[in-house]
Amino acid sequence: MRLWMRIAMVLGLTLAILVPLTMVRGVVQERQDYRRQVVADIARSYAGPQTFAGPVLVVPYQEVVEVEEADRAGIVRTTRKTVSRQWTFFPKTLAVEGGLKPGIRRRNLHEVRVYEWHGSAKAAFEVAIPADPGTERGRRIGQPYLSYAISDVRGLRGPTLQVGQRTLEVEQGRAPGHVGGEGLHALLPPLPPLPPGQLHRVQTELRLVLAGTERFSLVPLGDQNRFSLTSSWPHPSFDGSSPRTRMIDADGFQAGWEIPGVASNAQQRWQSAKGDLAEDAATAIDRVSVSLIDPVDVYSKTDRATKYGLLFVLLTFIGFFIFELTKSLPIHPIQYGLVGLALAMFFLLLLSLSEHFPFGWSYLGAGIACIGLITFYLSAVLRSVMRALGFAAMLSTLYAALYGLLVSEDNALVLGAGLLFVVLAALMVVTRKVDWYQLGSRPNPSPARREPILSEP
């Protein structure tokens, strides 16, 4: 077989191995989808990812306004109507703090991280009720109330609210008469108008326990916001505004935020979205979030590993090809294909084992199984145990390098680039004396008489 035909065969077999590698990646995706379903099922029975916002102080009122309307004859007339409106006041200062107590919920092979937030929200308001515009408008001020938004009130446990020196009862819904499970509200004593320059000062503190799944978020609705979160979970992931202070170690984390209202769009978005915290309605609301992540996500690591599968197969086939050139020992295409399938099988073994055992041990077990099988097979194909051990050493080095890429996410790019450079350098060193023109100008000699064709040093 001429050189170009053998090169085409190697490339064709390499591309053919993409089929089982793609199938393995499909299995990884299916398992990831199944885990997401498990998370959703547990969230439905426990509580979903939580977002806590508030309080805001709302003062409803009614007043008479003049409107122009056309009657049945088309004549425009001015009429008076009573309309309901409200003033919304955001806290001057908002301080939210508490601890996230992590836990694990298990279903089948999957573990889902849950938590209970034992927190408090302290807010200070300065409220100025505008003076009545006149008796002709007949403004009537209703009873003010505090409103808190919670994305999933099923996780709420024992809230207590103190306003000044009084303890008030909290009720379901973000507003009086609101029956949806979107938050809490509490009715306040009436706030009469004050002379110009004077303000109602209201101090509030809500204490509660809020259970949720995997992610917890806070919305900076105050003019000045201070948030503080602690937890014994050692692997947090922060989203939104970065913490001003943070400390993460094996015992957990502590994080603090200081966010001025002018640096956030939360108040404007709250007004436009009417306090809706649903993900599809308020994705643009500024919030700070912390997720309790799993640093050993077997599915993401296995998916990343399969991306290097083609490189493993290609390097192994190139090794076979170089071996044929230098040792005059032909290797049949079926033998290429069986070794390629064994390499692809590594990733399926890794996925299946890592669902039951720690990822490191699963990687070691899958690597030993596949390298051992390939070494046993190549000892017969290459007619030498030492030659097979040489290929085993090469594969072991590649697997060790891949493991380093998987466990070092921050340095994955530089390590991957370095690995590719070393592999290319090794190929160039090994083939630097091959005379490709002479080798491709005539058919390969028979296996019994074939000799490597090298250029003179």
Whole-angstrom Cα Rg for the chain: 34
Q: How far apart are CA 53 and CA 161, in angstroms?
A: 15
Scan for tokens 């503190």, then name that residue: 205
Q: How far apart are CA 52 and CA 229, in angstroms?
A: 13
**pLDDT value at position 227?**
96
More confident residue, 387 or 206: 206
Q: Which two tokens stand for residue 277?
A: 């915290």
Mean pLDDT, the chain, whole residue set = 81
pLDDT at 182 over 80: no
Q: Which amino acid makes up residue 347?
A: F
Q: Which domains does the chain have, with CATH numbers?
A: 3-33+298-440 (no CATH), 50-67+78-292 (2.60.40)
- DSSP 3-state of 109: coil
pLDDT at 17 over 50: yes
Label residues 410-428 b or e (16+ Cβ within 10 Å = b): eeeeebbeebeeebeeeee
**pLDDT value at position 453?**
41
What is the average pLDDT across 158-167?
91
- DSSP 3-state of 304: helix
Report residue 281's pLDDT band, with 50, 70 and 90 as the boundaries.
very low
pLDDT at 445 over 90: no
Q: Which of 134-148, 203-217, 229-243 has the lowest mean pLDDT?
A: 134-148
pLDDT in tens, 76-109: 777 778 888 888 999 999 999 999 999 888 777 7
Report residue 411's pLDDT band, with 50, 70 and 90 as the boundaries.
low
**pLDDT value at position 56?**
93
**For the chain, percent of residues with pLDDT exceeding 70:** 86
Scan for tokens 């290097």, then name that residue: 308
Nearest to 141 by CA among 128, 151, 156: 128
Scan for tokens 């290429």, then name that residue: 336
**pLDDT value at position 102?**
93
Report residue 443's pLDDT band, with 50, 70 and 90 as the boundaries.
low
Nearest to 354 by CA among 422, 420, 409, 303: 303
Q: Which of 31-35, 213-217, 360-364 has the lowest mean pLDDT?
A: 31-35
pLDDT at 451 over 50: no
Q: Which of 5-9, 189-193, 373-377 has the lowest mean pLDDT?
A: 5-9
Nearest to 57 by CA among 131, 161, 155, 157: 161
More confident residue, 437 or 171: 171
More confident residue, 231 or 138: 231
